[in-house]
Amino acid sequence: MLTQASGISIIHETVYERRFDFLTSLSALGAKTQIETHCLGLGALSFPGRDFPHSAIVRGPELRLGRHHARRAGPGPASPT
């Protein structure tokens, strides 16, 4: 869902060390993701001092691009009369 939301989303993982393994597959499909080993969230860490993927950045579509495509597509279907 975050790959379709506009803007930037940050996922902060504090429980499961390998939760972000699926992001490799999403990136291969064109999602813009970035995995960080440093903490981008707030709060205490469940695994302090361990170097594992800890935060993920997921970027959604650019809003201006969506408007551009809507203009190129033309008007919507005619209303039934």
Spatial distance between the Cα atoms of 12 and 36, rounded to a whole number of angstroms:
10
Spatial distance between the Cα atoms of 3 and 15, rounded to a whole number of angstroms:
22
Predicted pLDDT of residue 51: 61
CB count, 10 Å around CB of 29?
Answer: 7
What global pTM score does this model have? 0.44
Query: Which residue bears the tokens 């990136």?
Result: 27
pLDDT tens digits for range 24-69: 887 777 778 777 776 666 555 555 566 655 677 777 665 444 444 4
pLDDT tens digits for range 17-26: 777 787 788 7
